[in-house]
Amino acid sequence: MPLLQCLKGRRYYHDAMSYGSQRSLVSRRTLVIFSLGLLVLLVFFCLQGNENYVPNIRDPEPAAEKITDNNYQGLWQENPKLVTYIRSLLRPPSTEDYQLSNPKRKHFTFMEQSKFVGDLYGPGKREGFFVEVGALDGETSSSTLYLERELGFKGLLIEPNPVNYEILLGKHRKAYILQAALSPTTSSAELLFTGSGQQGHLAKDETSETIHVKSFPFYSILSALDISFIDVFNLDIEGFEFKVLKTIPFDRVKVGILIVEHLNIPEPKAELVKFMTNLGYKKIHQNKFDYIFAHPDYLSKLPGWKPS
């Protein structure tokens, strides 16, 4: 009997302890749930006190604004919506036959810039990409038409003048075409353009002869085509060349050969040369209109280059 009572006592003791543990566990769970409830209420009332807070369940986030001709201005050069907008403006390369005024000519520049650059590559087709800014009608004074027709380069032509742009389309160049100016800053903008016929340039003041043109950062335009390397870059924009060059992130955009007009830049020409030299480029040719710079690493691989 003492042993049986002892066993019963242990069982009662064990049951009591289990019951106590269960009650303790339930109490702890209740405390945790209660605490979480208080925390949720606290957060809710704090947010309700914020005048700018609107619960998503009542007012979902509005869709991203689409960039159009009416709101493209003032966007930073790396804005993805700006890049998408520029991409929608690009005209693809023509698949039709050329319609040139002088189809038998090979070079079209007055100062033989096209021949100088073409000779660096030598004869025969090769892969390459050019950009010509200030493309005019795509034939007159073109430094890239030879590269396109004779060497098989792909490329991009940029021209803001609406008169030139329409003629340019009719030439059926095998390159992308964009009707725009280059922004002298790292943001998009609407700029003033003045000129007569095929000649023109950006203007500071609005007159009866000025028109409004779109302008985009050069880096944004390249991003629209997913281009980070340019074999030949021709920049001729009547005085804004140096300003545009300063906007280009040359650590992300590589250029083999740069043809840049220096005739109308307001800055000292020596500053332009120093700027390009500090970027690692070498001046390999010049005339009264242009400088031609090249990166030594790129230049050393060209069959027509003969170091002096």
Enter the tokens of residue 239: 């005085």
pLDDT of 142 > 80? The answer is: yes
Rounded average pLDDT over 216-241: 97
Provide the pLDDT for residue 160. Answer: 96
Residue 60 carries which DSSP code?
Answer: P
Q: What is the Cα–Cα distance from 60 to 239, expressed in whole angstroms?
A: 49
pLDDT, tens only, 234-254:
999 989 999 999 999 999 999
Q: Report how far apart, in Å, the C-alpha atoms of 284 and of each of 120, 254, 268, 277, 291 are.
A: 11, 17, 19, 11, 8
Q: Which amino acid is at 209?
A: E
* Residue 156 phi, psi dihedral angles, 5° rounding: -140, 130
**188, 80 in Cβ contact below 8 A?**
no
**200, 236 in Cβ contact below 8 A?**
no
pLDDT, tens only, 147-196:
999 999 999 999 999 999 999 999 999 999 999 999 999 999 999 998 76
Helix, strand, coil share (%) of the chain residues, nearest 5: 35, 20, 45
Enter the tokens of residue 293: 């710079």
Q: Percentage of the chain with pLDDT > 70?
A: 78
pLDDT, tens only, 92-130:
999 999 999 999 999 999 889 999 999 999 988 889 999
Q: Which residues of 233-264 are buried (b: 16+ CB within 10 A; e: fewer)?
A: bbbbbebbbbbbbebbeeeebebbbbbbbbee
